[in-house]
Amino acid sequence: MGNEDIRNRELELWNILLNHEGRRELAIDHWSGELTGHAMTLARLEVISAEELQEMLEYADAAYSHAIEQSHTREWERGNKR
């Protein structure tokens, strides 16, 4: 497997994790840590550039914020149905 193949596969895995609803719903903090850790590892191994790392970390942060907001909305909706 060539470097470009490895890069493409790792980015595909990161995106799968980013969009994995089950992991996000069951363990938001762990899921966010996995996203961040994977991106940082890719940068450390020079699979991605520093700019790409920054972009991935921003995506991970935005996804985490969105997941937290969704969780709070669901809790609020459950509380108001009673």
Could you report the per-residue pLDDT of 10-37, keeping only the tens digit for each?
999 999 999 998 888 888 889 999 999 9
Helices 50-80 and 28-44 cross at an angle (nearest 10°) of 180
Among 68, 43, 31, 74, which Cα is nearest to 11's? 43
pLDDT of residue 10: 96
Structure-block tokens of residue 42 = 């890719």
Whole-model pTM? 0.83
Could you report the per-residue pLDDT of 31-62, keeping only the tens digit for each?
999 999 999 999 999 999 999 999 999 999 99
- 3-state secondary structure at position 48: coil
**Residue 41 or residue 78, greater confidence:** 41
pLDDT of residue 82: 63
